[in-house]
Structures are given as structure tokens and as C-alpha cells.
Amino acid sequence: MDRSGIRRRLALGAAVLAAAGTLGLATSGAAQAATGGGCGGREVQTLSFSTGVTHVYNNNGYVCAVTVARKSGRTQTMSVSLQVRGGRPVVDTGRYKYLAGPVTVHAGHRCVWIKGSVGKPGVNTGWILC
């Protein structure tokens, strides 16, 4: 094979790798939103309310939560909050299009209090996961 054939094959290989990398980056954001918005571990609670859902995950003593709007795409006030019994709440509040959070706390074996909202309606659990 001559040098021009090798160059063409290298160029084709580089183009395929670049396209695969771009596709991976483009889909990772959508996959992240669909699978908990950056929370790792096992989903332990799904707290549903009229304007959204708060998903709660546990990963080796760390509790993570994210609130997802039912109608996404327009900016609205959203929040998610986690508080370990005996600790201060970790809160993410703002005007978002898709989700609030993630927020993470180390709970160990302590109870947590979870709040989530999209607009006025929301969820407030009391102490759970004890």
C-alpha cells in the first residue's frame, strides 16, 4: 500500500473517532438528566408531586437528591434540600429549566429530611431513611 492509501485510512479513522467522541458528549447530558442528574448509587425514593419529582439516591452512606420538573424547558423556581439529623440543610434553589441539584450529604446511618419543589407545589418528607 502506498503512502496516500495509509493517509486516507488514518484520516478516516480519525474522523470516526472524532464523531464517536462528539456523539458520546452530546448524549451524556441527556443520559445524566434521565438518570438522576449526576447522583450516583441506587435510587431509594421517588417523591412525586404535581409539578415535579424529587429522586433520592444512596451510595455507601451518601444521600443525593435532585428535583426534576414535569414541564421542562421554561425557566421556573426550583429547589431541592437534604438535611441530615443533627446537621444543617444543603440546598440548591434557583430559576432553572430542567432540574435543581444534585445536592449530596454524608448521612451514614442517620435520618435525612428531604424537600423538593417546582414553583409553589413541592414535597416535604419529614425524617426518613433512618
pLDDT tens across 80-103, in order?
Answer: 999 999 999 999 999 999 999 999
Which 8-state DSSP code applies to residue 119?
S
Of residues 34, 45, 30, 40, the one with CA closest to residue 116: 45
Residue in the block written with cell 419543589: 117
Residue type, 56: V
3-state secondary structure of 96: strand
The CATH class of the 37-128 domain is mainly beta
- Counted residue by residue, the chain has a size of 130
Q: What is residue 45's predicted lDDT score, i.e. its pLDDT?
A: 95
Torsion of Cα atoms, 15 then 18 then 20 then 21, to 10°: 180
Q: Is the pLDDT of residue 128 over 70?
A: yes
- Percent of the chain residues topping a pLDDT of 90: 68
Give the pLDDT band (50/70/90) at residue 33: very low
Q: Give the pLDDT confidence score for residue 72 in this predicted structure.
A: 86
What pTM was estimated for this model as a whole?
0.72
